[in-house]
Amino acid sequence: MKTIVAIFLLTFFTINSFSQEKEIIYLWPGKVPGELKEKQPPVVDTARNDHKLRYNEVTNPNIAVLLPAPRKNKRAAIIVCPGGGYKQLYYQNEGIEIAAWLNELGYAAFILQYRVPIKYEGALQDAQRAIRIVRENAKKWDLDPEKIGIMGFSAGGNLSARACTNFNKRTYTPVDKTDDLSCRPSFAMLVYPASLDKEHSASLAEKPGGNPAPSTQVSNETPPFFIFAAEDDRVGPGTLVMASALRDFKIPVELHYVPTGGHGYALRPGNPAAETWPLLAEKWLTRLLSGSGYSLYSKEWVNN
pLDDT of residue 201: 43
Higher-confidence position of 164 and 2? 164
Percent of the chain at pLDDT > 90 equals: 77
pLDDT of residue 3: 52
Q: Tell me how far the alpha carbon of residue 74 is from its chain's centroid.
A: 18
Q: What are 64-112's pLDDT values in tens digits?
A: 999 999 999 999 999 999 999 999 999 999 999 999 999 999 999 999 9
Q: With bands split at pLDDT 50, 70 and 90, how would you rate the model's confidence at 200? A: low
Is residue 244 pLDDT above 90, yes or no?
A: yes
Secondary structure of residue 211 in the 3-state scheme: coil
Structural domains of the chain sorted by starting position, each given as residue range(s) with its CATH number in brackets: 2-290 (3.40.50.1820)
Q: What is the Cα–Cα distance from 53 to 47, expressed in whole angstroms?
A: 11
Beta-carbon contacts of 127 under 8 Å, excluding residues fewer than 6 positions away, are 79, 81, 112, 114, 150, 159, 160, 162, 163, 183
Higher-confidence position of 199 and 110? 110
Q: With bands split at pLDDT 50, 70 and 90, how would you rate the model's confidence at 21? A: low
Q: What is the Cα–Cα distance from 258 to 47, expressed in whole angstroms?
A: 32
Number of H helices and E strands in the chain, helices first, is: 6, 10
242 close to 236: Cβ distance less than 8 angstroms: no
Read off the pLDDT of each residue in 113-120 and give the average, rounded to a whole number.
96
What residue type is 22 in one-letter code?
Answer: K
Q: What are 28-76's pLDDT values in tens digits?
A: 999 999 999 999 999 999 988 788 999 999 999 999 999 999 999 999 9
pLDDT of residue 27: 98
Report how far apart, in Å, the C-alpha atoms of 236 and of each of 86, 101, 192, 233, 247 are.
Answer: 17, 24, 7, 5, 18
* Sign of the CA dihedral running 218, 256, 118, 173: negative
Q: With bands split at pLDDT 50, 70 and 90, how would you rate the model's confidence at 217? A: confident
Is residue 250 pLDDT above 90, yes or no?
A: yes
Read off the pLDDT of each residue in 286-299 and give the average, rounded to a whole number.
70
Give the single-character DSSP code of 172.
S
Read off the pLDDT of each residue in 258-276 and give the average, rounded to a whole number.
96
Is residue 195 pLDDT above 60, yes or no?
A: yes
- Predicted TM-score (pTM) of the model is 0.89
Q: What is the Cα–Cα distance from 22 to 67, expressed in whole angstroms?
A: 9
Is residue 187 pLDDT above 60, yes or no?
A: yes
Q: What are 270-280's pLDDT values in tens digits?
A: 999 999 999 99
pLDDT of residue 198: 75
Give the single-character DSSP code of 58.
B
Q: With bands split at pLDDT 50, 70 and 90, how would you rate the model's confidence at 233? A: very high
- Residue spans of beta strands (DSSP E) within the chain: 23-26, 43-44, 55-57, 62-66, 77-81, 108-113, 148-153, 188-191, 225-230, 253-258
Please, what is the average pLDDT of the chain? 88
